[in-house]
Amino acid sequence: MAHVVLKDLVKTYGSFKAVNEVSLTVNDGEFVALVGPSGCGKTTTLNLVAGLTSVTSGDIFIGDQVVNDLDPKDRDIAMVFQNYALYPQKSVYMNLAFPLQMRKLRKDEIDRKVKDAARVLDMTHLLERKPRELSGGQQQRVALGRALVRDPAVFLMDEPLSNLDAKLRVQMRSEIKRFHQDLKATIIYVTHDQLEAVTMADKMAVMNGGYLQQYDTPAQVFAHPVNMFVASFVGSPAMSLIPLEASTANGNTVLTSAEGWSLALSPRNMRKVESASTRKIVLGARHSTIKLHKSAVPGSVPAKAYTVEPTGDVTFVQAFLSGAIVNISVSPDVAVKPDEQIWLEFDQERVHLFDSETEMALKAE
C-alpha cells in the first residue's frame, strides 16, 4: 500500500481545462471519494493518476515516486471501471488471471491467487463462465476480483456501482467498505453520488467544474461546507438556500426578505453577516434543522407548503419561502396539505450563511 499525492494537477483539452490545479493527499490505507456532478473532471483526475491520460502540468506521487511519466503498467495500481471492462472473450478465470500473466507469475501461483480471489468474492462457481453470461452484480464482482488479485499499491474505482440496481448498490457499498477495512487498502473512489461518498469514504474530495472545492471527512464537509456548491451538493434532500438581504435596525443585524418578514440572528451569526463584502446574503438550512409550525410562533417566518411526500419514517415537505424552495422533514403525524400556510423556524446554531457574490461560507472571525 502507498500514499498518493496530487500537486497542482492540471489537465487541459485544447483550451478547455478539465482539471484545475487540484492538490490533495491520500494517506496510506485511506479511502478517499472523489465526488461531484457529471462532467466535473473526476474521471479525468482518476485517469491521470492511472496514467491513462497525460498530465498537462503538476505532479502525481505514488509512494514517494513521481509517476507522471510512468506507464500505467508500472504504477502498481488496479482499477475498477464503471462499465467493468471485463475482457469479453475471456472466461472469468482468465479475466482474473490476466494481470498475473502479464506480470509473468508462475502458472501454479496464478492458479492459487485466482482461486483465492474467487473464494473471497464468493464466485468460485463462476470461474468458467464468460462475462456476458453473468448478471450485472456478478460482473461487478469479477471486476473487483481482477483488481484485488494483484495486491496493488493503490485501488482506483470509477463509479463502480452506478450500473447496479438500487438494492444491489447498497449491498455492494458495504462490501467494498468491508473490503477496504480488511485489506487496509489505499482507495480512490470516484462517484457522482454524494451518498456513496458520505457512507463509504474516510475523506471526500468534492469537485466542480474541474476545481477541488473541499477535501475533508464526510462529517466535516456535511457540517461545514465551504461554499454554496458543496452545501447544496452534499446531503439529501439538498440544503435549502434562501437569498435574503442584511439590514441593521437598532444596532441589530437581521436578514430581511423581499416578502416583508425579517429574521433575527444570533450574535455569532450577526458577526458572520457583518463580515460579508455584500449585503446580499444566502441563508442555508438542512431539512432536519428546520421546524415546521402550523401557526406563527416567535422567530418563525411565513411560508407556503408546495408538495408533501410521506416516506413512512418521515414526511418531506417542500415549501416556498422568499422565492426559494425549502426542504423540511417532519414527523409523519404532522398533517400538512399543499398550498397550506405554514411557519418555519430556523435553528440559529445550525444555519449556514453565504456571501451571495463569492458564494463562500461566511466565518465569524
**From candidates 8, 13, 65, 358, binder to ligand ADP by CB under 6 A:** 13
- What track of x and - describes contact with other proteins for positions 55 through 74 (by CB under 8 A)? ----------------xxx-
DSSP characters over 27-65: -TT-EEEEE-STTSSHHHHHHHHHTSS--SEEEEEETTE
Angle between helices 92-102 and 107-120 (to 10 degrees): 130
Nearer to Mg ion, 28 or 193 (CB): 193
Residue 39 interacting with ligand ADP (CB under 6 A): yes
The CB-nearest residue to ligand ADP is 43
Q: What CA–CA distance (Å, rounded) separates 138 from 122?
A: 10
Minimum CB separation of residue 136 from ligand ADP in Å reads 20
Q: Which of residues 25-54 bind Mg ion (CB under 5 A)?
A: 43
∠ CA 224-227-231, rounded to 5°: 65
Cβ contact 241:231 at 8 Å: yes
Minimum CB separation of residue 38 from Mg ion in Å reads 7
Q: Which of residues 17-56 bind other proteins (CB under 8 A)?
A: 47, 50-52
Q: Choose among Mg ion, ligand ADP, other proteins, none what residue 40 binds, the Cβ cut-off being 5 to 8 Å by kind.
A: ligand ADP
Nearer to other proteins, 77 or 244 (CB): 77
Residue among 338, 340, 345 nearest 309 (CA): 338
Nearer to other proteins, 15 or 89 (CB): 89
Residue whose cell numbers read 491513462: 52
Q: What CA–CA distance (Å, rounded) separates 33 from 202?
A: 8
Nearer to other proteins, 87 or 112 (CB): 87
Cell numbers for 87: 475482457
Q: Choose among ligand ADP, Mg ion, other proteins, none what residue 302 binds, the Cβ cut-off being 5 to 8 Å by kind.
A: none
Minimum CB separation of residue 47 from ligand ADP in Å reads 7
Nearer to ligand ADP, 41 or 99 (CB): 41
Query: What one-letter code names the amino acid at 121?
Result: L
Cβ contact 283:264 at 8 Å: no
Burial state string for 39-78 with b = 16 or more CB within 10 A and e = fewer than 16: ebbbbbbbbbbbbebebeebebbbbeeebeeeeeeebbbb
Q: What CA–CA distance (Å, rounded) separates 27 from 102?
A: 28
Interacting residues toward ligand ADP by CB under 6 A: 13, 18, 36, 38-44
Interacting residues toward other proteins by CB under 8 A: 47, 50-52, 71-73, 75, 77-79, 81-83, 85, 87-89, 98-99, 102-103, 146, 150
